[in-house]
Structure 1
């Protein structure tokens, strides 16, 4: 059966929007380390200049800043105050200053950042924790996406939407504003300690942006693979993602129950220094299970008694067919079916063309591969070949909806789209 006949590509496209901006701390270049203790830094010089302004001039300048920026951010004056609090050392040489001057100083040490100016891609989808008020046969979902802005820094952003009974996908309108969470972990955020974050309950989920907060994440939070994990009747949402500091990577785990409060914890163990780990949605005989790639080529099955420690692993899928000769990787968490675990995979073929396929794993023993794609399910269409990285389709996770697999996927590391695939027909395409 031709794969092209069973994949229903939807017309829905999610493209990056450079008008969505955050305010981020501006940090002046540091001075040489051999400065005398009495010498002033560049930050001191900026504060000196602001506090030397006539008060009426400072008030007019602050009013001008608010006129141009207040409508683009929530609680901007409060943000200026918070940033000024972080600049206390620069204020220490000044005996007096007004609230206006303090707020203005805060403004000088911030800059706008368009967090999805370059790309909005590598989506992952899970059922929304609130399924109330829907038509029969519909399902609400949370979609996570990797957003890339200036300097190729990746952050995590969200959308919500509804899948109708017939499989049609609708994305709810995106909030105009964007916010970063409050950080509840003392700085500096180095080492292996968990990081706790929270958003305000009045902030729509599409406003919430998780921007890198630790050194290990400083160049990006990449490719989150979300799973609704069931354990003793409780559902917890986890996401494995790659933390990147510009030189090194490591896998980390995001945990939430409501998409308001989050905990980010580094994973440890020999398997944690690789990309593309994906957690099964339930335990096996009391142990956690993960799919990962440890050698840039093959897919491994890992078990652990500790959710945050992963060692070893058993290779279960190796490149077999031409479309995956360069390497294989997982495309999200395994999806439980009556027939077994459906594992979406990606393969890389000639001229670095990426494609998406699948494998079926035994439900009780996922190390046993029942069947797999001889040909990919989704490969770049002619209209999907051009972008930041040509000839790539990629996903960080699909979701079951009745008799369909709903598959959000990225195109050329630039934008995202959706397709649906009937489960029965998909299974018929898999070979033993």
Structure 2
């Protein structure tokens, strides 16, 4: 309801507090102009969106392992999940740590963005725009040709690539990968932010196959043009073993990111949403298999 939202925002400055927004929403609902009950969903939506943007701060004397972020807003009351962290380097060398994650209120999925520079102060914001759909957003660790780039899942089946000159607003998406091999026939998605290598952008993927078995694969994208797929594993890199198949969500092996250390790719992964394990692979061997 653009008429209602414009009327509310017209009475606010460019920056405002939550209490001011709530006051103007209530004022608009009580006015003769907007007394219809049909305006209520718009009013509730504006307030829910505002609540979903907040900050969490920790004392600098606290241990890193004690800094836990719990669901805070109504949009998160059924969980915050699948955080994909990335160390992002701006063109001027500034470093910010971002994490895309999913907030769930029991009915609606909210794609969110967490950012911090010191792991003491965390800013949480909503991701906006028509290209922000579904789950599984994963930000590239730097700009590409001046734009932010992000992998996304738009339709629950394919993997997409998005570009934007604004971090919090995304308007366009481009199809990157479709399910191709039997182990990923149901769905293909990303397993965390791309990792830059000399050979290209290494992207871990998840594929869903028969019996909804989740496996982890890998693709390699061109460094200058990530829309170009250089290589793709025909067989999965990791599949659930017999003792990893039984759990809260059976048959699922899943990760939200990996890192390179001493020439090896280290992959933390969840086993059927019940416990965590680690796998390692020689980066050189993996890249050779992809090229």
Tell me the TM-score normalised to structure 1 length.
0.55
Contact 1:335 1:343 in 2 (8 A): yes
**Are the counterparts in 2 of residues 253 and 265 from structure 1 also a CA contact under 8 Å?**
yes
From 100, 104, 129, the equivalent of 1:240 is 100
Q: Is 2:163 aligned against 1:266?
A: no
Which of 54, 75, 89 is residue 216 of structure 1 equivalent to? 75
3-state SS in 2 of match to 1:429: helix
Deviation, 1:189, is: 7.2
> What residue is the counterpart of 1:192 in the other structure?
50
Name the counterpart of 1:310.
170
Query: For 1:273-310, what per-residue CA distance to the aligned partner results, in whole angstroms no more than 9, with x for missing partners?
Result: 31000000000121100000101011011000110001
Query: Which portions of structure 1, spanning 4 or more consecutive aligned residues, are displaced by more than 6 angstroms?
Result: none
Corresponding residue number in structure 2 for 1:355: 215
Q: Secondary structure at the match of 2:118?
A: coil
Contact 1:331-1:344 at 8 Å conserved across structures: yes
- The equivalent of 1:205 in structure 2 is 64
Q: Secondary structure at the match of 1:190?
A: helix
Q: Name 1:407's counterpart in structure 2.
A: 267
SS at match of 1:192: helix
Considering Cα pairs closer than 8 Å and 6+ residues apart, tell me whether 1 or 2 has the greater RCO.
1
- Counterpart mapping for 1:165-180 below 5 A: none
> How far 1:430 sits from its partner (Å)?
2.8
Larger radius of gyration: 1
Confirm or deny: 8 A CA contact 1:189 1:213 kept in the other structure.
no
Q: Which moved more, 1:421-430 or 1:231-240?
A: 421-430
Q: In structure 2, which of residues 263, 286, 291 is the aligned counterpart of residue 426 of structure 1?
A: 286
What is the CA–CA distance in structure 1 between the aligned matches of 2:176 and 2:50, rounded to whole Å? 30
1:374 is displaced (CA, Å) by 0.3
| Gapped regions of structure 1 (runs ≥ 5) | 1-187
What do you get for the CA RMSD once the two structures are aligned? 1.4
Count matched residues: 244
CA distance in 1, matches of 2:137, 2:223: 19
Rounded Cα–Cα distance in structure 2 between residues aligned with 1:266 and 1:191: 8
- Using the alignment, how far apart are the partners of 1:199 and 1:238 within structure 2? 17
Residues of 2 paired with 1:397 and 1:252: CA distance? 17
C-alpha distance in 2, partners of 1:430/1:352? 25
Aligned to 2:40: none
Distance 1:192 1:270 in 2: 18
In structure 1, the residue matched to 2:226 is 366
**Cα distance in structure 2, aligned partners of 1:382 and 1:393:** 11
Q: CA separation of 1:227/1:241 partners in 2, compared to 1, >3 Å: closer, same or farther?
A: same
The residue aligned with 1:280 is 140
Contact 1:326–1:349 at 8 Å: present in 2 too? yes
Measured in 2, the distance between the counterparts of 1:252 and 1:189 equals 16
Q: Aligned pair 1:339/2:184, yes or no? A: no
The unaligned stretches of length 5 or more in structure 2 are 1-45
Assess if the C-alpha contact under 8 Å between 1:331 and 1:345 holds in 2.
yes
Secondary structure in 2 matching 1:345: strand
Where does residue 253 of structure 2 map in the other structure? 393
Q: 1:228 aligns to what SS in structure 2?
A: strand
